[in-house]
Amino acid sequence: MVIYGVYIVSKSGGLIFNHDHNVPKVEVEKPFNFPLDIKLSYENKKIVVSFGQRDGIHVGHVLSAVNGLPVTGKELDDGRDVLEMLEKSENFPITLKFSRSKMTTNEKIFLASMFYPLFAIASQLSPEPRCSGIEVLEADTFRLYCYQTLTGVKFMIVAEPSQPGMEILLKKVYELYADYALKNPFYSLEMPIRCELFETNLQSLLETVEKSGISNV
């Protein structure tokens, strides 16, 4: 039973709150010989695997460390270029660490505003009249639940596909939002939520749901 994260999107489509709950860390460290048997490419200021997935290294994973030294962009901390380094046989054997790239806050804001039109188009393309937007989006690794309040605020939960009772949890989160964010005199609408009480209460709510199910809330 895992809940991966909670997002709140305002009426105008901006991300006003996000909370990473239990995001699993995907990391693989392995020694390699010359020549390298996976294809790497440099895109979006990261070195990513573009072909040749094996042993837990997947296409899209980012090179995060070489011989234990962290990689930033395409350079090591001491200024050496990683791609050039990997072409020279004298640097081998070498230990490379790959990990799934973590979303930055900017990417999260970008994704939240991307969901907004998807939600609208889904209701426009509906074969039935008077249809809502996306309520549950299912993929093979997670399920995203979305609840839109009457005022247009969207609450989203990303959880494991088998996790039950998420619709009820969304309403509970709405309750917390109404109690701790909206009743906070220092909170202005449409702005990011920075209320300590809201965060601590949300955290404990998510933990109880994960441990003992939705029925005990």
What are the residues binding other proteins (CB under 8 A)?
4-5, 23-24, 26, 58, 60-61, 100, 103, 107, 111, 114-115, 117-118, 121-142, 144, 158
As measured in angstroms, the least distance from the Cβ of 54 to other proteins is 13
As measured in angstroms, the least distance from the Cβ of 81 to other proteins is 27
Smaller CB separation from other proteins, 117 or 213: 117
As measured in angstroms, the least distance from the Cβ of 103 to other proteins is 7
Smaller CB separation from other proteins, 98 or 180: 98
Smaller CB separation from other proteins, 94 or 111: 111
Rg of the chain over all Cα atoms, to the nearest angstrom: 21
CA angle 129–131–134, rounded 5-degree value = 150
Q: Count Cβ atoms below 10 Å from residue 116 Cβ, excluding itself.
A: 17
Smaller CB separation from other proteins, 42 or 142: 142
Smaller CB separation from other proteins, 26 or 214: 26
- Select from 13, 189, 194 the least CA-distant residue to 112: 13
Residue pair 65/29 in contact by the 8 Å Cβ criterion: yes
As measured in angstroms, the least distance from the Cβ of 187 to other proteins is 26
Three-state SS across 181-213?
A: HCCCCCCCCCCCCCCHHHHHHHHHHHHHHHHHC
The helix-helix angle for 166-176 and 196-212 (nearest 10°) equals: 160
Q: Count Cβ atoms below 10 Å from residue 28 Cβ, excluding itself.
A: 16
As measured in angstroms, the least distance from the Cβ of 65 to other proteins is 19
Cα–Cα distance between 66 and 202 in angstroms, integer? 38
As measured in angstroms, the least distance from the Cβ of 48 to other proteins is 13
Smaller CB separation from other proteins, 31 or 60: 60
Which H/E stretch holds residue 105?
Answer: helix 105-124
